[in-house]
Structure 1
Amino acid sequence: MRDTRFQELAAQLAGYSTALRPGDRVLLELTDIPEEMGVALIREVRAAGALPFLRLNQTRLNREMLSGAVEEQYEAIARHRMAEMEDMDAYIEIRGGGNAFEFSSVPQENMATAMKALNPVAQRRIRHTRWCGLRWPSEGMAQQAAMSTEEFEDFYFRTCLMDYGTLRPAMKRLAEMMEAADKVRITGPGTNIAFSIKGLNAIPCAGECNLPDGEVFTAPVIDSANGHISFNVPSLFQGIPFDSIRLTLEDGLIVHAEAGDKTPQLNAILDTDPGARRLGEFAFGVNPAITKPMRNILFDEKISGSFHLTPGQAYHVADNGNQSRIHWDMVCIQTEEAGGGDIYLDNELVRHNGLFTSPELAILNPIHS
């Protein structure tokens, strides 16, 4: 039986998220998703008068390629993909896969080789196409979220298909508050950090570039962050699970980083290049329907009552000048249940224990069912 939600999601992606127009060239990059979803997406692209182009991947084959990655090979792959991307007006990526740890055995140096070659392609996509990326629900994701498969699928489609337009006014207001501010201070268990966001854009994200969505981001002034921070949301990066990451920053530089027995792997990633030890993003998570972590960054960075700080590459729309081959959103929940915490803009308390203090932002507070 065809799941009508496939068609609804395809329509959301082609219509609301990427706003396809007649004649647009659209690259569809699909990894381990049902054929029915791919068919629905191709049909929606055509219905908009746009032209679909298809690239299919498989996670295990990608892992095998990365396991033997060499510079000459990935430079050639990057040239081919750059030529393709330069010919596209829009890009939609859906990534499935049952094993979230599939890339955990890939040597770090091989991963760095591939990332170095492919990062310019990703930057071209971000800067010059209308794009949206999302994961596809799987039994593995449900297990990480401590949900049944059916429960997780219902949650996934509910959050992807929610009416993001209703959140946009409050998100826009929060962005205005951030753009008017100079200093940010964040306190909480194991956390006392301050930095400047003066002069940088703040961007409300309401379903355009990610599904599910729900964050308002900017970037710290590159040399302004000082203090220490503890992240209480488990993170999966480059196929490696990390828990309880703790960072210390001096003048914008991560001078100390630890994550229990994964501390060597953490520091290896932060040593990818000089920009990996500086911050490229600061964001409030504001999706009121996402209230608990599931070790999936595309969901966890949107948790209402959370914030994230990001070692690595800054986005061009909120560019503090930091450049890196990595971009790693590290998430901390500040709800009372998670230990609490406060965020101040220019010494004014804007969120306490995960709840915005202003009534005009209340719609962004967590929904507990």
Structure 2
Amino acid sequence: MDPRIRTHAETIVDHSTRIEAGDNVVVTMPAEAEDLAVALHEALGERGANPVFMNNSERAARAYLRASDADDFETPSHQLALFEEADAFVIARGGANVSEQSDVSPDTNAAYRRAMRPVLDERLEKRWCLTQYPSSGHAQLAGMSTEAYEEFVWDAVTLDWDAQREHQAQMVDILDGADEVRIKSGDETDITMSVAGNPTLNDYGEHNLPGGEVFTAPVKESVEGYVHFDLPLYRKGKEIEDARLRFEDGKVVGHSAERNEDVLTGILETDEGARYLGELGIGMNRSIDQFTYNMLFDEKMGDTVHMAVGNAYADTVGEGNERNESAEHVDMIVDMSEESVIEVDGEVVQRDGTFVFEDGF
């Protein structure tokens, strides 16, 4: 086994989820990630944890979704019970075909997400980690050889997370206690939002591995303006290109996309909360320097900002502020490397991708 796989597993267990003896751990991975599953189970055994392994098959999921009547979806009580009893949850992406579910209708996906929302909410209450296994399917999507993609993934996963935390803490200090954030990029993005009272979190490889962002939630009805997400989004096997959203009183009141607009529409029509922003994130991981059509990596890239329509993480909503709730949480990215600024309470804190605390600002 490649020793980097064992390092990956050790990072998940010791850094991301802090597994202890007696912990009940749910592990979900595709067949292509079996080596990581084996290394992870070995690490869990050494620490005295109790794993349950679930094979995540995109083919099986596609078959179920296409055969089902969307009106009949119900929350699976047995799966909910599993996560109620769990202490930690680990999921790895890495299937063979990233387009496996491309012929499942947006309406079906939305109905299924609504039914699964209680399961998702329960999972998010636990210690959890989402990570990536460098499969050939994702390498192909990224336009890289399998070997190059392996190096890309494992270099990102094994970053010095203490140093990354300290670097990002500088931006956390700027946002914590702030009121208004304004994002401007070119002629098609000018959006403002309040973050007053909402905590800013420092993601350094815990819930997401790799990490590399700071993020918070906008005050629900404060978002105003328009945004062009000029980097594409790969969603259930379909690429959404050049998504544009327009907000009034926090709500999406207009949207378009150059490609697969129907998929974007399906996301926004999932439920009422899907038309509001649940997250503002700022990418700060300079080691992720290539766009790969994988949001787990792409949203962490330096020189980017991402916003997620849908559910807000509870930890990012302060006491007294309304939390946006939705079965969706869909991140979309703005390239901030040129003709772009981030303003916090009227002060420019990033210009063309360079932060106020970095050389060259």
TM over 0.5: yes
Structure 1 residue 291 displacement after superposition: 2.1
Over aligned residues, Cα RMSD in angstroms?
Answer: 1.7
Assess if the C-alpha contact under 8 Å between 1:33 and 1:95 holds in 2.
Answer: no
1:231-290, Cα deviation, whole Å (9 max, x unpaired): 111101233211111111111111111102422332222111111111000010111111
Assess if the C-alpha contact under 8 Å between 1:290 and 1:304 holds in 2.
Answer: yes
Q: Helix, strand or coil for the counterpart of 1:106?
A: coil
Give the TM-score normalised by the residue count of structure 1: 0.92
Moved more, 309-318 or 96-105: 96-105
Query: Quick one: distance in 2 between partners of 1:141 and 1:228?
Result: 31
Q: Helix, strand or coil for the counterpart of 2:330?
A: coil
Query: Quick one: distance in 2 between partners of 1:341 and 1:292?
Result: 19
Moved more, 40-49 or 62-71: 62-71
Structure 1 residue 73 displacement after superposition: 6.3
Assess if the C-alpha contact under 8 Å between 2:110 and 2:266 holds in 1.
Answer: no
Structure 1 residue 74 displacement after superposition: 4.2
Structure 1 residue 108 displacement after superposition: 2.1
Assess if the C-alpha contact under 8 Å between 2:189 and 2:228 holds in 1.
Answer: yes
Residue in structure 2 matched with residue 38 of structure 1 by the alignment: 37
Structure 1 residue 52 displacement after superposition: 1.2
Equivalences for 1:1-369 in 2 at 5 Å?
Answer: 2-70=1-69, 74-75=73-74, 78-127=76-125, 129-189=126-186, 190-319=188-317, 320-336=322-338, 340-359=339-358
1:141-185, Cα deviation, whole Å (9 max, x unpaired): 222222222111101011011111111122223112111210101
Q: Helix, strand or coil for the counterpart of 2:264?
A: helix
Assess if the C-alpha contact under 8 Å between 1:234 and 1:293 holds in 2.
Answer: no
Q: Partner amino acid for 1:62? A: A
Q: Partner amino acid for 2:67? A: G
Runs of 4+ residues deviating >4 angstroms: 71-74
Q: Partner amino acid for 1:27? A: V
Give the TM-score normalised by the residue count of structure 2: 0.94
Structure 2 vs 1, CA of residues 31 and 181 (structure 1 numbering), >3 Å: closer, same or farther? same
Q: Helix, strand or coil for the counterpart of 1:33?
A: helix
Identity %: 35
Moved more, 224-233 or 137-146: 137-146
Query: Quick one: distance in 1 between partners of 2:44 and 2:197?
Result: 38
What stretches of structure 2 of length at least 5 have no aligned partner? none
Moved more, 345-354 or 60-69: 60-69
What stretches of structure 1 of length at least 5 have no aligned partner? none
Assess if the C-alpha contact under 8 Å between 2:312 and 2:323 holds in 1.
Answer: yes
Q: Helix, strand or coil for the counterpart of 2:65?
A: helix
Query: Quick one: distance in 1 between partners of 2:61 and 2:11?
Result: 28
Query: Quick one: distance in 2 between partners of 1:148 and 1:238?
Result: 23
Assess if the C-alpha contact under 8 Å between 1:25 and 1:52 holds in 2.
Answer: yes
